[in-house]
Amino acid sequence: MTRPDGRLERGNRTRKLVLGRTVDIASVEGLEALSAGRLATELGLSKSGVFALFGSKEELQLATVREAGRIFAKRVIRPSEQVLAGVGRVWRLCEAWLDYSRGRVFPGGCFFYGVIAEFDARSGPVHDAVVSAHRAWTALMERTIEEARTGGELRPDTDVPQLAFELVALMEAANAVSVLHDEKTAYLRARTGIANRLRNASAEGVSVPRGG
């Protein structure tokens, strides 16, 4: 029987500890606020040890984006997969996103909303990783809506990309207003707007949850 490598296990635990902190910092202050020195001080680690785990600031930023994506998938995407394809799944996906933002899974609200603004006009691997995450989210929204349309729960003439854009815009607006003003009313308004938009697009006889 092979004995586990103690150094590898310690390294994995330290990496998990570091990334647990970096996603929180980046959601509030941005990815540029990350540094091996700061993390070492805050977590009681050696600067060289933190640096050795990632090798560069850029890789630390990339690892942070990947970790945020993992958490996002767990809190937003997976809950919706438990619901049958259709309007109910679209609603659950939006509801899970609003819960993720309102519950401050990341202290700065939606992690990706903040870092997109930070890196939208830049170039390089971190910009590309953020773009990839955003495109994946948009594609998932469109695919989920398209499933509802082809399944007969949304009207055949539904403009899928337009509806996805509008639903995402409502969610992001709720996140921005809530973080800025430190209040939750915006989430109720977003839920109402999403429910109304889905109700207007739904086929006759399809039930849509009430917002608010």
**pLDDT, greater one: 208 or 211:** 208
Confidence at 211, pLDDT banded by 50, 70, 90: low
Token pair, residue 69, equals 């994506």
pLDDT at res. 33: 96
Is the pLDDT at 152 greater than 60? The verdict is yes
Percent of the chain at pLDDT > 70 equals: 95
Side-chain half-sphere exposure of 101, counting CA atoms within 13 A: 31
Mean pLDDT of 156-164: 98
Is the pLDDT at 7 greater than 70? The verdict is no
pLDDT at res. 159: 98
In DSSP terms, 22 is beta-bridged to none
Is the pLDDT at 83 greater than 90? The verdict is yes
Evaluate whether 68 touches 23 at the Cβ level (below 8 Å).
yes
CA atoms of 122 and 52, how far apart (whole Å): 26
pLDDT at res. 210: 75
CA atoms of 205 and 168, how far apart (whole Å): 25
Q: Any idea where the domains of the chain sit in the sequence?
A: 6-201
CA atoms of 154 and 202, how far apart (whole Å): 4
Whole-model pTM: value is 0.90
What does DSSP assign to residue 32? G
Percent of the chain at pLDDT > 90 equals: 87
pLDDT at res. 208: 83
Work out whether the CA dihedral 123, 172, 69, 132 comes out positive or negative. Answer: negative
| Structural domain 6-201, CATH architecture | Orthogonal Bundle (1.10)
Is the pLDDT at 17 greater than 80? The verdict is yes
Confidence at 5, pLDDT banded by 50, 70, 90: low
Is the pLDDT at 117 greater than 80? The verdict is yes
85: left (phi over 0), alpha (psi -120 to 50) or beta: beta
Confidence at 11, pLDDT banded by 50, 70, 90: confident
pLDDT at res. 212: 59
Mean pLDDT of 52-65: 95
pLDDT at res. 72: 97
What does DSSP assign to residue 182? T
Evaluate whether 174 touches 165 at the Cβ level (below 8 Å).
no
CA atoms of 58 and 204, how far apart (whole Å): 51
